[in-house]
Amino acid sequence: MRLLEAVRRFMGACWDPYPEENGHGCFLYEVGRLEPDVLESDDPEEPGAAVWEHVFASITELGAYGY
């Protein structure tokens, strides 16, 4: 459930942000709460980092209406 919340928050922050929001920063904050240090891993094969990388790419490459 927290994964979906993080994705939804990041989508909102990227596509329709509040004035003080930073889409990328909001996403990193949510990921950090879910899986601390996963994005800072030096292991390129680390499964958690790969999942978050794909989630991040799927959100940033789509538009608000681009499903």
Decide if 66 is inside a domain: no
Decide if 40 is inside a domain: yes
Q: Please, which residues have CB within 8 angstroms of residue 46's CB and are 6 or more apart in sequence?
A: 38
Decide if pLDDT at 34 tops 70. Answer: yes
Q: Report CA torsion sign: 24, 28, 1, 59.
A: positive
pLDDT, residue 59, reads 67
Average pLDDT, the chain: 71
Decide if 67 is inside a domain: no
Domain boundaries, position 9: 2-61
Residue 12 CA to residue 9 CA, distance in Å, equals 5
pLDDT, residue 62, reads 66
Mean pLDDT throughout 40-66? 70
When divided into structural domains, the chain yields a total of: 1
State pTM to two decimals.
Answer: 0.46
Phi, psi of 19 (to 5 degrees): -55, -35
